[in-house]
C-alpha cells in the first residue's frame, strides 16, 4: 500500500515533487481521454509511460462525481464510465470510481401539504439497471467500479443528497441486490465521522467491498453539536489525516485485515486551515505533507519488495 494524492493527469510532476508514489487520476471527464475524444489511446499510453518513469502508480480513475441517475445526465455519464473502463483496462488501472447517483423525487404529504422526498431505497432497481451493465463490461476487462460514500449534503451531513451510496444502510441493500462482485466502495472515513459512524466498525462490516480508499479526516465540534444540533455550520469539519478524530492506525489495520489491495490517497481541498489554492498552494501542500508524514509509518512494509 502506498500513500498517494488525488490530482489531475497533468499534475503528476507536482505529486512526485511532494514525494507521493501513488495518485488517483481525477477529473477524467475533462481529460483528452474522455468522450468525445475518439483518438484517446495515444494520450493514455503517454500518461502510463510518464507515470512509470516518475515511479507513480495510478491507483484509480476518478471518472465522474455527479449524478448519473439524473435523466439529464444519464447518457453522458454512461459514456464517461464506459470510456473510463476502456482506459483503465488499457493502462492496467484496477479501479474506476465516482458517485452512484440517485433518483430525487418529491411527493406531497396529504395531511400537512408539505413536500417529502421519496426514500432513496425505492430506486434500487433504477440503480441496478444503470450500473450492472457497466459492471459486466468492467468485469470483462478485469476492472472494478467503486462508489464514493460522500452524501453531498450541506455541511457534510446527509440531510438530502444525490448519492444513494452516501449511507451504509443503502450499501447493505445494494450489495444484497446485485450479483456483480466487482461493484464496491471508494471508502472515505470522513463521511462516516460526519454521520457519527465509527469508521473502524464500518470497515469490519464492509471491508471486503472497499476497492479504493480516500484519506480524509473529520472533526466533530461537540460543543456546537450539543448547543445547535447536527445541522449547524461548523459542527462537522473536514481535515487532513492526523488533524481530525479518525483512528488511522486502526483504520489501516482494518483495511489490511480485510485484504485491501490498493493505495491510500489523500484528498485535499477541504481542510479550512490548510487550504489556499488561490495563493500558490503553500498551505495546501503543507497539509498534504503533514498528512503523508503522519500516515507513512503505519504503511511501512505493506508493499512487497520489487
List, as one string, the DSSP characters of 13-81.
HHHHHTT-SEEEE--GGGSTTSTT-S--HHHHHHHHHHHHHHT-EEEEEEEE-S-TTSTTTHHHHHHHH
Cβ neighbourhood burial of 113 (10 Å; 0-12, 13-18, 19+): exposed
- Nearest-angstrom CA–CA distance, 71 and 77: 10
> DSSP labels for 142-181?
T-EEEEE-----GGG--SS-S-GGGSHHHHHHHHHH---T
The grid coordinates listed for 23 are 495518485
pLDDT of 305: 45
Sites in the chain below the pLDDT cut of 70: 106-113, 115, 154-160, 277-280, 304-306
Inter-CA distances, 60 with 23, 76, 124, 130, 292, Å: 8, 20, 25, 21, 19
pLDDT in the model for residue 189:
98
How many C-beta neighbours within 10 Å does residue 152 have? 18
Burial 80-95 (b: 16+ CB within 10 A, else e): bbbbbbbbbbebebbb
Query: How far, in Å, CA of 25 to CA of 136, rounded?
Result: 22
Would you kindly state where each structural domain of the chain is located, as residue ranges? 3-296
Cα separation, 96 vs 41, in Å, equals 17
Residue 306's pLDDT is what? 38
CA distance 59 to 49: 15
pTM: predicted TM-score of the whole model, two decimal places: 0.93
3-state secondary structure of 195: coil
Architecture of domain 3-296: Alpha-Beta Barrel (3.20)
Report pLDDT for 156: 63
DSSP 104: -
Return d(Cα 306, Cα 140) in angstroms, integer.
28
From 59, 70, 63, 183, select the one nearest 133 (Cα to Cα): 183
The pLDDT of residue 155: 61
Amino acid at each position: 500500500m502506498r500513500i498517494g494524492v488525488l490530482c489531475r493527469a497533468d499534475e503528476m510532476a507536482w505529486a512526485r515533487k511532494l514525494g507521493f508514489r501513488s495518485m488517483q487520476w481525477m477529473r477524467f471527464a475533462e481529460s483528452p481521454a474522455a468522450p468525445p475524444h475518439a483518438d484517446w489511446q495515444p494520450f493514455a499510453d503517454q500518461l502510463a509511460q510518464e507515470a512509470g518513469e516518475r515511479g507513480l502508480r495510478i491507483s484509480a480513475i476518478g471518472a465522474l462525481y455527479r449524478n448519473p441517475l439524473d435523466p439529464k445526465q444519464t447518457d453522458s455519464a454512461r459514456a464517461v464510465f464506459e470510456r473510463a473502463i476502456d482506459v483503465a483496462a488499457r493502462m492496467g488501472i484496477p479501479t474506476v470510481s465516482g458517485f452512484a447517483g440517485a433518483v430525487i423525487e418529491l411527493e406531497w404529504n396529504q395531511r400537512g401539504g408539505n413536500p417529502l422526498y421519496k426514500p432513496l431505497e425505492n430506486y434500487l432497481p433504477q440503480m441496478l439497471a444503470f450500473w450492472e451493465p457497466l459492471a459486466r463490461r468492467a468485469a470483462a476487462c478485469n476492472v472494478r467500479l467503486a462508489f464514493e460514500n460522500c452524501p453531498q449534503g450541506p455541511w457534510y451531513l446527509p440531510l438530502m443528497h444525490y448519492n444513494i451510496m452516501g449511507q451504509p444502510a443503502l450499501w447493505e441493500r445494494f450489495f444484497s441486490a446485485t450479483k456483480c462482485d466487482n461493484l464496491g466502495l471508494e471508502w472515505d472515513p470522513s463521511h462516516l465521522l460526519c454521520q457519527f459512524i465509527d469508521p473502524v466498525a464500518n470497515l469490519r462490516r464492509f471491508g471486503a467491498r472497499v476497492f479504493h480508499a480516500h484519506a480524509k479526516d473529520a472533526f466533530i465540534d461537540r460543543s456546537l453539536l450539543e448547543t445547535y444540533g447536527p445541522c449547524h455550520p461548523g459542527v462537522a469539519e473536514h481535515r487532513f489525516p492526523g488533524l481530525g478524530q479518525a483512528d488511522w492506525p486502526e483504520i489501516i489495520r482494518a483495511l489490511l485485515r480485510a485484504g485491501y489491495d490498493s493505495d491510500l490517497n489523500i484528498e485535499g481541498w477541504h481542510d479550512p486551515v490548510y487550504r489556499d489554492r488561490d495563493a500558490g498552494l503553500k498551505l495546501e501542500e503543507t497539509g498534504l505533507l503533514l498528512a503523508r508524514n503522519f500516515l507513512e509509518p503505519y504503511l511501512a512494509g505493506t508493499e512487497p519488495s520489487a
